[in-house]
């Protein structure tokens, strides 16, 4: 137990930093992909495109859940736990997708030279103030408040469910059985 506590104290800041960077990566990638789908599809096909985006996201959750549970019990390159490999693999994929979006995605609302030249440059502080003003105006909309409240309440069970593989392993299921059950559950 002492080894676990001392390891936890030494590694906690690394985990916190990694988790923060992972969250930033996901926060950048997911909205940018949704924005690209919305911008690059016409109105008649937009629902189908978002449907395929959801299908691929669900398939990624199934496959990712399967592999992450199976890799959790192994170690790599001199003792690096498999769960860390999983964790950093998600961050790596987010970075790759972000770089690819930056390199290859063009905003269809802007022409190459004309529209870019017309957009005035704002200072960082001005952009932050504008963003806060815009956020305040959106937060005041009653239907938005209801949607957010429902989303917060509805996300609790799914966040708790993310600990199901660990709980199943703690009560005695093997990694392979947990991976199989988790794949079926998703």
- Helix/strand/coil for 80: strand
| d(C-alpha 37, C-alpha 51), whole Å | 11
Q: For position 131, what pLDDT does the model report?
A: 85
- Helix/strand/coil for 75: strand
Provide the mean pLDDT of the chain.
77
Q: For position 29, what pLDDT does the model report?
A: 76
Query: Nearest-5° angle of CA 151, CA 149, CA 134?
Result: 95
- Which among 94, 78, 85 is positioned nearest to 27, based on CA atoms? 94
Helix, strand, coil shares, percent, the chain, to 5: 80, 0, 20
- Which among 23, 12, 166 is positioned nearest to 91, based on CA atoms? 23
Over 80: is that where the pLDDT of 27 sits? no
Over 90: is that where the pLDDT of 158 sits? no
Over 90: is that where the pLDDT of 52 sits? yes
Percent of the chain with pLDDT over 70: 87
Using 50, 70 and 90 to split pLDDT, how confident is the model at 55?
very high
| Helices and strands (H and E) in the chain: how many | 8, 2
Q: For position 48, what pLDDT does the model report?
A: 92
Q: For position 8, what pLDDT does the model report?
A: 52
Q: Are 56 and 173 in contact (CB under 8 A)?
A: no
- Which among 81, 96, 83 is positioned nearest to 25, based on CA atoms? 96
Percent of the chain with pLDDT over 90: 4
For residue 67, count CB atoms less than 10 angstroms from its CB and return exposed for 0-12, middle for 13-18, buried for 19 or more: middle
């Amino acid at each position: 137990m002492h080894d676990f506590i001392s390891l936890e104290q030494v590694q906690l800041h690394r985990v916190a930093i990694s988790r923060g960077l992972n969250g930033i990566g996901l926060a950048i990638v997911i909205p940018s992909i949704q924005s690209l789908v919305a911008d690059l599809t016409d109105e008649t096909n937009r629902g189908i495109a978002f449907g395929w985006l959801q299908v691929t996201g669900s398939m990624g959750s199934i496959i990712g859940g399967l592999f992450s549970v199976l890799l959790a019990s192994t170690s790599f390159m001199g003792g690096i736990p498999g769960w860390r490999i999983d964790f950093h693999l998600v961050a790596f994929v987010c970075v790759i997708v972000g770089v690819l979006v930056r390199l290859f995605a063009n905003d269809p609302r802007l022409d190459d030279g004309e529209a870019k030249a017309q957009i005035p440059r704002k200072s960082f502080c001005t952009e932050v103030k504008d963003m806060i003003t815009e956020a305040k105006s959106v937060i005041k909309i009653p239907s938005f408040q209801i949607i957010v409240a429902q989303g917060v309440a509805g996300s609790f069970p799914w966040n708790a469910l993310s600990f199901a593989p660990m709980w199943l392993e703690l009560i005695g299921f093997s990694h392979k059985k947990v991976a199989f059950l988790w794949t079926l559950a998703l």
